[in-house]
Each structure stands twice: as structure tokens, then as C-alpha cells.
Amino acid sequence: MTLQQSKHWQIHPPAPDAFFSGVPEHPLLAQVLYNRGVRTPEDVTQFLTVSDLVVDNPYRLRDMVPAVQRILQAIETGEIICVYGDFDADGVTATALLVNALQAAGARVGSYIPDRVDEGYGLNLDAITRIARQATLMVTVDCGIRSVAEVQHARELGLDVIVTDHHSVGAHLPPGLAVINPRRADCPSKFAELAGVGVAYRLAQAVLRAAAHRSHSALTPEQAA
């Protein structure tokens, strides 16, 4: 019996031995870098070095200012914040990262991750209705950029919404009080390829810096990896 193959694997050739010696961390890392076109010692150093631009400037993302201001207001007045995530790895890590950061800043915060089978991806009206019974501010991570009707529903229930996402932007932005997405056409950030957890990391940076007098915690780039 002959199995019919519909896909063909294309394997990159092994990196030269000299290249492996220039990447002391691990041979597998060296091969991955070589496959991605990183070929010289200078390229390796540049690729693996986190620049100050990446770490130190969360405000390059559009709407970061109103988002931070609203979160600080919620912290100061003791409001309940709900972080609404997604069930995939990006969404779960983004949720955990932002919840931890908000707790470090002194927030009363919980999280909601929709059931993959029963609710599917993204915001849904029933979940928002339940959240609005307890929280006054909802922050989405890794979802929400195309949830125009759902965010409008939240507003009608008196629930403020900050959307953070990295997926492609639709014809209309959701009517949240802040919409943070590096793919926005009017976003000055150069990092359009940030994952959802990367966007959440930027928001966490900005909040913790603004609330530095309340928290001694520091968030590292490795926590967003």
C-alpha cells in the first residue's frame, strides 16, 4: 500500500560548524538563527539583544495614555477590573502577565477566559453581561479588536472597556475607551508583529511605572517571552 503525501517537508541545510561556535547557548538555537537568515556574529548579537526601544517605550502604542489613566483610576477607587483573555497559549500567558502586574500595582483584579468549546474565540455577550455585574472595567488581551458589537454592549451595561490585541484591524475599531493594537494604521509603534502577550506586557510596563510609588515589582522581557 502506498500512502499519498499532500505535503512535502523542506529542511534547511545544517549551519556551518564555524557558525555553531559563535552561538554558545545551544546548537539548536544556532540552527534556528541560521534558518532565519542570521548568519554573522554581529547579526547574532543584534538579534538576541533586547534594545532600549523595545523595553523602555510603551507609549509608542496608540491609546496607552487613556488606558493607563483609567486603570490607575480604578486602582485608586477600589473598582474591580476583569482581564478578558483567550484560551490559546498567547491569550493565557497575556492574561496571567497582566493580572500579576495589576495585582502588583494594587488593583482588585480577576480574569475570564472563555470556554473553547461552548463559547469559542473572543468576546461574547453572555460573558460580558456576567462580568458587568461585578466589574466596572474590562481589559481584553489577545482579543477584542473586531468585537464592535460586544464592546458596545459592554458600554450599554456601564462597563468600561480597554481593548488590547494584536490581530488584524477591521473596518471599524471597537468603541472602547482605549484600543491598543500595534497594527492600527495610526499607531506610531514600529513593532506591528508583537504577540498578544507582548501588547499586554507594554500595558503592564506603563501601569507599573505610573504606579511605581505603590509597587516595587519589576517586569522583565523574559516574562513576556
Characterize 157-173 residue by residue with b for buried, 16 or more Cβ atoms within 10 angstroms of its Cβ, and e for exposed: eebbbbbbbbeebeeeb
CA-to-CA distance for 88 and 94, rounded, in angstroms? 10
3-state SS, residue 57 = coil
Question: Which is higher by pLDDT, 92 or 19?
Answer: 92
Mean pLDDT of 121-128: 94
Q: What are the sequence ranges of the domains in the chain?
A: 17-49, 54-224
DSSP letters spanning 12-30 = PPPPPHHHHHT--S-HHHH
The upper half-sphere exposure of residue 138, i.e. CA atoms within 13 Å in the direction of its Cβ, equals 32
Distance separating alpha carbons of residues 99 and 109, to the nearest angstrom:
7
The answer, yes or no, to whether residue 1 has pLDDT greater than 60, is no
Mean pLDDT of 87-111: 96
Average pLDDT taken over every residue of the chain: 88
> CA–CA separation, 221 vs 225, rounded Å?
7
Q: Give the residue, 79 or 4, on which the prediction is more confident.
A: 79
* Per-residue pLDDT at 51: 64
- pLDDT greater than 60 at residue 214: no
CB distance 18 to 41 below 8 Å = no
- Mean pLDDT on 166-171: 94
For residues 211 and 157, the model is more confident at 157
Please, which pLDDT band fits residue 45 given cuts at 50, 70 and 90?
confident
pLDDT at residue 3 in the model: 60
CATH architecture classification, 54-224 = Alpha-Beta Complex (3.90)
Sign for the pseudo-dihedral over CA of 87, 90, 92, 95: negative
Of the segments 32-36, 48-52, 133-137, which one has the largest average pLDDT value? 133-137
Place 210 in a pLDDT band, splitting at 50, 70 and 90: very high
Distance CA(203)–CA(109), nearest Å, equals 15
Neighbours of 180 (CB within 10 A): 30
DSSP state of 221: G
With a CB cutoff of 8 Å and minimum separation 6, the contacts of 141 are 83, 84, 85, 86, 91, 94, 95, 98, 164, 165, 196, 197, 199, 200
Give the mean model confidence (pLDDT) for residues 16-21: 79
Percent of the chain clearing pLDDT 90 (strictly above): 61
